[in-house]
Structure 1
Amino acid sequence: MGAFGASHRPSGSDVFKRCDPMKIRRVITGHDANGKAVVTHDELCTNILSRRDFHQSCVVWSTGQLPVDNLDSNDGYTRDVSTLSKQDTVFRIVQYDPGVAPRNHRTETIDYAVVMSGAIDMDLDGQTVHLQQGDVLVQRGTIHNWVNKGTEPCVIAFVLIAAKPIDLNHQTLHAHG
């Protein structure tokens, strides 16, 4: 699996348990041929994925280069973000329902996260932090797991930006899980 997670679409017996499907409206702006600011996309996301029980995610936009070319006509919604490019950015919305299946993982990214609704625990190596609506997190390549012990879904907006792997004491901590 890449640093941004597998691009996995359940089918047949590969369907995961979930609560109500997310409804994410994305509004994308750009420019017309005369340089006027316009809305290029205004739609509900249809790429809602579930990679494990009680978990849903949606890539809203992604880019493959830094600095970003804001005149690129490719829809960042359709890029495959399952493999890591050292220039990638990903904007993803994730819903963790109560009982979400555990997945201890590390990415080779710096992640900016905003808890949009609900509450969740983030487990690190021997430490747990409780996050709730309005809290923000900067995740710097640490191994972690999300645990929803509540009764309501927790929705988090993530912006992932490719980062160097963690190198401590001549040991490289690569993406995992």
Structure 2
Amino acid sequence: MDQQQKKFRRIVTGHDADGKAIIISDAAPVHAQLIGGPGGPTFIEVWHTSETPAFIQPQPVLTDEDKLMLPPPKNGTRIRVIEFPPESEAIRQLTGADAAAKFKSMGDENASASVAGAPHPLMHRTETLDYGIVLEGEMTLILDREETTIRTGDIVIQAGTNHAWSNRSGHNCRMAFVLIDGHYTSGIV
């Protein structure tokens, strides 16, 4: 990861004792975690809710989690930013066990869907509806049967499908993700 990455602010609003809108916090997110060592992505946890509909409190408080959790809380939401460095050959050569270990370090080893012949070793699936927004750079979205390159400003609606992200651009890519807890309907395996 580029140690000179751009920082960004997390501005949290709320209400004062008179019910007037105020800024509660204006600072960089505090929880960032590098996954898999040098050359791996950095997850920057921005915010999460414990339920939907979310309770709107006068002064929102983020309850810090003690470790990175890939999915949102049950019935909740999560927003995070991920800094993806260019994909290395080491990533492309991961075994299924290596991939499961990486997802375990993200708090959800069951998300790993890496099997022999998969289109990418970091294929994974979560029972969530996700909005992925490319803030800078470009990324390849890999699905079971096809792939597409997305660029700055593009938005992906990820509906619980098996997928992987591959940065083939040679430059860092920054994406924001909003994850919403979901439930598969019948007909989805």
Give the TM-score band, short-chain normalised. Answer: 0.7 to 0.9
When normalised by structure 1's length, the TM-score is 0.77
**Residue aligning to 1:90:** 78
| Larger RCO (alpha carbons 8 Å, 6+ apart) | 1
Give the Cα–Cα distance (whole angstroms) in 2 for the partners of residues 42 and 122 of structure 1: 32
Structure with bigger helix share is: 2
Preserved CA contact (<8 Å) 2:14 2:58:
no
Preserved CA contact (<8 Å) 2:48 2:72:
no
| Structure 1: gaps (5+ residues) | 1-17
Q: Pick one of 42, 46, 54 that aligns with 2:40.
A: 54
When normalised by structure 2's length, the TM-score is 0.73
Q: Pick one of 115, 124, 147 that aligns with 1:105.
A: 124
Structure with bigger strand share is: 1
Give the Cα–Cα distance (whole angstroms) in 2 for the partners of residues 113 and 77 of structure 1: 23
Give the Cα–Cα distance (whole angstroms) in 1 for the partners of residues 62 and 14 of structure 2: 12
Aligned partner of 1:37: which letter? Answer: A
| Structure 2: gaps (5+ residues) | 92-120
**Residue aligning to 1:40:** 24
Structure 1 vs Structure 2: percent identity of aligned residues? Answer: 31
Q: CA deviation at 1:75?
A: 2.4
Q: 1:22 to 1:142 in 2, by over 3 A?
A: farther
**Secondary structure of the structure 2 residue equivalent to 1:48:** strand
**Residue aligning to 1:154:** 173
**Secondary structure of the structure 2 residue equivalent to 1:49:** strand
- Are 1:19 and 2:2 matched, yes or no? yes
**Residue aligning to 2:137:** 118
**Residue aligning to 1:142:** 161
Cα deviation code 1:32-83 (max 9, x no counterpart): 1110100001011221111224201111110001111111645226246636
Task: Name which of structure 1's ranges 147-156 and 46-55 shifts more when overlaid on structure 2.
Answer: 46-55
Q: Pick one of 75, 78, 85 that aligns with 2:61.
A: 75
Q: CA deviation at 1:85?
A: 3.9
Give the Cα–Cα distance (whole angstroms) in 1 for the partners of residues 50 and 58 of structure 2: 11
Give the Cα–Cα distance (whole angstroms) in 1 for the partners of residues 126 and 78 of structure 2: 12
**Secondary structure of the structure 1 residue equivalent to 2:75:** coil
Q: CA deviation at 1:166?
A: 5.3
Give the Cα–Cα distance (whole angstroms) in 2 for the partners of residues 56 and 166 of structure 1: 32
